[in-house]
Each structure stands twice: as structure tokens, then as C-alpha cells.
């Protein structure tokens, strides 16, 4: 069992739960409607923007199905195969996470990543969190559109002598 799995199991046990259910949403469930996602950080390594959750899965779980999602953050060190938990939070509801420390990056529909030191806004509502999400998602979409347009122009410049056609039933190009 690697360090991440050990930490997941320790945190789940602390709350009287088991890991393994609905892994795409959380590492353990506090109830049928409340998933907890454990985010661990080895302080001896440089973690660059760890993935937290797919925006599609987050949106479906929290905003369409109206269920709860919390994150539990754990800092640890590992020496000689021994894990030492240095700091941990209680489960933090997703709506209390501030978008100042989050970003959406490319992976599937997009993934929420921690981009800086954790910042919590205890009285932030789900509506406020969602407004921040929409702004972050719009920034992500615009960045992706520019990236894809740049790539398209590169391809078109090289193969521009072909007429652009919609390929449905054929894998051939018209001249």
C-alpha cells in the first residue's frame, strides 16, 4: 500500500468509515450523500498543482444531484517507509474553498487543481462558490479555445490545399 492509500485509510478510519466507495467522487463517504476527498501532500517533495476533482464529476455530484463534497487536506513526511502526519484539516465543504487558490486545467472536461496555498472562506455559500466556478470555467474555456485555434492554424497552414469537409461516412478528403 503506497503512502496515499495509507493516508486515505487512516483518515477514513478516523471518521469510522472505509475507503473504496465512489472513488471518482471521494475517497470515503461520511453518508450516502456526503463524499470526502483526501488530498495528501508529502512536504519533502515538490507537488505542483495537485488534481482535486474533475469539474464534470464535481458539477454532477454537488450541483445537479445536490449532494455534499468535502476535502480533507493532509501534510505528511515519509522516511524509511514510515509515514508521519504533520498536519491535517477536518473535512472542508467544497463551497468553503476560495477560488483564489484553485484553478481549472486541461484534462477531460477540465480538472480543479490547487494552484496556491489553501484559502478557506467559512461563510461562503454554494451559490458564491458556483459563481467563482463559472468565472474560472470561462477562463479555462477561453484558454482552451485559443490553444485549439493555434493548433488548427498550424495544421491548416500545412495542409490548407485540401478543402475543409465534414467527414461523416468517409475517411477521404476532397481536393
Which three cell numbers, joined as nine digits, stand for 108?
477531460
Whether pTM exceeds 0.85? no
Q: Which residues of the chain have pLDDT under 50?
A: 161, 163, 165-169, 173, 175
**Amino acid 166: pLDDT:** 46
* pLDDT on residue 48: 59
Q: What is the pLDDT of residue 95?
A: 97
Q: Is 102 exposed, middle or buried (0-12, 13-18, 19+ CB in 10 A)?
A: buried
Name the residue among 15, 52, 51, 17 with its Cα closest to residue 37.
52
The pLDDT value recorded for residue 22 is 60
Q: pLDDT at position 106, please?
A: 86
Which positions ≥6 away from 101 have C-beta within 8 Å? Answer: 114, 115, 116, 117, 118, 119
Given this model, what pLDDT does residue 150 score? 87
Q: What is the pLDDT of residue 25?
A: 87
Amino acid at each position: 500500500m503506497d503512502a496515499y492509500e495509507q493516508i486515505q485509510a487512516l483518515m477514513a478510519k478516523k471518521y469510522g468509515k472505509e475507503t473504496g466507495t465512489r472513488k471518482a467522487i471521494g475517497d470515503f463517504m461520511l453518508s450516502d450523500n456526503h463524499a470526502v476527498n483526501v488530498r495528501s501532500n508529502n512536504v519533502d517533495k515538490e507537488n505542483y498543482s495537485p488534481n482535486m476533482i474533475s469539474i464534470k464529476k464535481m458539477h454532477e455530484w454537488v450541483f445537479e444531484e445536490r449532494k455534499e463534497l468535502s476535502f480533507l487536506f493532509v501534510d505528511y513526511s515519509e522516511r524509511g517507509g514510515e509515514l508521519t502526519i504533520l498536519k491535517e484539516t477536518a473535512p472542508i465543504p467544497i463551497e468553503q474553498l476560495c477560488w483564489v487558490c484553485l484553478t481549472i486545467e486541461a484534462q477531460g472536461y477540465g480538472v480543479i487543481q490547487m494552484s496556491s496555498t489553501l484559502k478557506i472562506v467559512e461563510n461562503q455559500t454554494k451559490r458564491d462558490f458556483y459563481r467563482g466556478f463559472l468565472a474560472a470555467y470561462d477562463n479555462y474555456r477561453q484558454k482552451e479555445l485559443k490553444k485549439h485555434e493555434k493548433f488548427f492554424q498550424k495544421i491548416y497552414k500545412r495542409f490548407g490545399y485540401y478543402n475543409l469537409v465534414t467527414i461523416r461516412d468517409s475517411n477521404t478528403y476532397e481536393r
